[in-house]
């Protein structure tokens, strides 16, 4: 078997969509599993949709996700560069190559010049729709002689080049996810191959590029299934060996519709800003349409490389479940060491306004204990500020009904007095002091269990449930505790 070569070929039209990341991931995993090569190619033939900085953005998203590739387009020293011996890897740099192959198709009778203007094509489509037909080109220019074509070109008439589909031919291919697929050529349009601006369409460029770059497996979204017969016929027209096709199911929302920006996060950058770890997002995304034989759910990238196969990819669309993502991501949050957690959480804390970077760096050990205290309570980094605000902000101005009722307990006043006295007599509260603090209060007052811990937590944080109370006592420190005990006494 020849070396496996796969490619991810996005258009630089914006941020990398989460569905695009999954396509890149599956390409990457298949290449790694088979000791093959993974190529990043940029498909920018539609010049009207280009977004400045999009190439850099999508490369950074792949780097953040930990998905590396062997050939193609990279960023070095802040500049876009190309590496590999099958380039250029940016389609707009390959126009001469496409023109050569378009001319070859015209010469062999597999393509023809079309001079129909936009108005005629629009009217034709409208008429076909009204007659209940599938809109497609009617072949008006297919019968033009060579002399007629040359005369029109000489007269300066604009033209495109179309693929000349055979009249009644079954076009077959075997898809590793979908199985055998057969579509008759009469249901396929005479696709434009070369536009009037000299740029190829996707259909022409993708076939030429995949062949010349030695791509053995085309792994892409299922929206390209209907276009594959055109590509199959182009491979036949050129006399080239067809690659293996793999069409992946669409990533769907909870309503079984394609993920849309209107309904929330859809780009990799969105999830990065929402505080998800790359390990968590990639692990979960792999499971949206694929599962290993043992249905294992928590897997490192290396484990996925070992386990990945296309025969375990579902043909039905995969539902993107945010709650499941949170569950997977929370696993990786818990795995973070304290230094890594500190560095990752810092931008989110600063952005929230709770503390500036100077404060956090100066009180690094204190902040690390604070973060460890709430680690089990967060699914992603964006939730950190809300969980740690008890250590920065004053008590809530109003208590909830449950908390208010707890503070009405008959032993609460005694408990608060004991805490206030003990704290007042300490020079400072060390981490070691905090570990034995509540046991000593219990011994002094005889108050136990729920009557001991719940009123104390409410007095110090305003909440009846929360992180480890001994840590809270250390983190708040002497002055804040005394201030909050005073405030709580005034409330009751």
Burial class (CB in 10 A: 0-12, 13-18, 19+), 465: exposed
**φ, ψ dihedrals at 80, nearest 5°:** -80, 125
Annotated active-site positions, please?
261
Q: How many CA atoms lie within 13 A of 122 on its CB side?
A: 3
With 0-12 CB in 10 A as exposed, 13-18 as middle and 19+ as buried, what is 18?
buried
Distance of CA 384 to the CA centre of its chain: 21
DSSP string, 358-401: HHHHHTHHHHHHHHHHHGGG-SSGGGHHHHHGGGTSPPPSS--H
| Strand duo 160-163 + 111-114: pairing | antiparallel
Give 326's contacts (C-beta < 8 A, 6+ positions apart): 379, 380
Nearest to 281 by CA among 62, 6, 8, 73: 62
Asked if residue 94 lies in contact with residue 88, where contact means CB atoms within 8 angstroms, the answer is: yes
Could you tell me what percentage of the chain is helix, strand and coil, using 3-state DSSP and rounding each to the nearest 5?
55, 15, 35
Check residue 273 and give left, alpha or beta (phi > 0: left; psi -120 to 50: alpha): alpha
Instruction: Compute CA distances 475 → 332, 372, 398, 461, whole Å.
Output: 25, 11, 22, 11
Residue 39, sorted as left (phi over 0), alpha (psi -120 to 50) or beta, turns out to be: beta
In whole angstroms, give the CA distance from residue 266 to residue 17.
6
CA distance 53 to 397: 46
């Amino acid at each position: 078997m020849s070396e496996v070569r796969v490619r991810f070929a996005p258009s630089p039209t914006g941020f990398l969509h989460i569905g695009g990341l999954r396509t890149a991931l599956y390409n990457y995993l298949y290449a790694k599993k088979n000791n093959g090569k993974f190529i990043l190619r940029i498909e920018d033939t539609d010049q009207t949709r280009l977004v400045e900085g999009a190439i850099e953005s999508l490369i950074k998203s792949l780097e953040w996700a930990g998905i590396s590739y062997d050939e193609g387009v990279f960023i070095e020293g802040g500049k876009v560069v190309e590496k590999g011996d099958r380039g250029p890897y940016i389609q707009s740099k390959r126009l001469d190559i496409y023109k050569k192959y378009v001319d070859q198709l015209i010469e062999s009778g597999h393509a023809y010049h079309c001079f129909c203007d936009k108005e005629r094509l629009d009217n034709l489509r409208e008429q076909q729709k009204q007659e209940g037909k599938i809109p497609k080109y009617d072949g008006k220019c297919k019968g033009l002689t060579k002399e007629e074509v040359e005369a029109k070109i000489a007269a300066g008439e604009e033209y495109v080049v179309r693929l000349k589909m055979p009249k009644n031919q079954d076009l077959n291919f075997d898809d590793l996810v979908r199985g055998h697929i057969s579509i008759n050529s009469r249901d396929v349009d005479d696709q434009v191959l070369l536009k009037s601006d000299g740029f190829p369409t996707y259909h022409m460029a993708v076939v030429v590029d995949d062949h010349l770059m030695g791509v053995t497996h085309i792994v892409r979204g299922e929206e390209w299934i209907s276009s594959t017969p055109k590509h199959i016929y182009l491979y036949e027209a050129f006399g080239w060996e067809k690659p293996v096709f793999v069409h992946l199911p669409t990533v769907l929302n909870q309503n079984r519709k394609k993920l849309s920006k209107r309904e929330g996060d859809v780009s990799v950058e969105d999830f990065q800003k929402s505080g998800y770890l790359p390990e968590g997002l990639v692990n979960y995304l792999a499971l949206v349409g694929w599962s290993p034989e043992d249905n294992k759910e928590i897997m490192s990238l290396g484990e996925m490389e070992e386990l990945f196969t296309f025969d375990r990819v579902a043909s039905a669309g995969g539902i993107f479940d945010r709650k499941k993502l949170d569950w997977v991501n929370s696993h990786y949050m818990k795995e973070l060491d304290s230094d890594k957690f500190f560095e990752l959480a810092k931008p989110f804390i600063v952005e929230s306004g709770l503390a500036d970077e100077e404060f956090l760096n100066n009180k690094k050990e204190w902040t690390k204990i604070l973060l460890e205290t709430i680690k089990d309570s967060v699914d992603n980094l964006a939730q950190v500020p809300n969980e740690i605000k008890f250590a920065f902000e004053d008590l809530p101005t109003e208590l909830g009904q449950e908390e208010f009722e707890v503070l009405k307990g008959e032993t609460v006043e005694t408990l608060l007095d004991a805490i206030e006295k003990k704290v007042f007599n300490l020079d400072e509260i060390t981490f070691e002091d905090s570990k034995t603090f509540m046991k000593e209060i219990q011994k002094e007052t005889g108050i136990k269990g729920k009557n001991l811990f719940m009123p104390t937590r409410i007095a110090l944080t305003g909440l009846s449930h929360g992180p480890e109370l001994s840590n809270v006592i250390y983190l708040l420190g002497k002055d804040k505790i005394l201030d909050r005990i005073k405030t709580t006494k005034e409330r009751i």
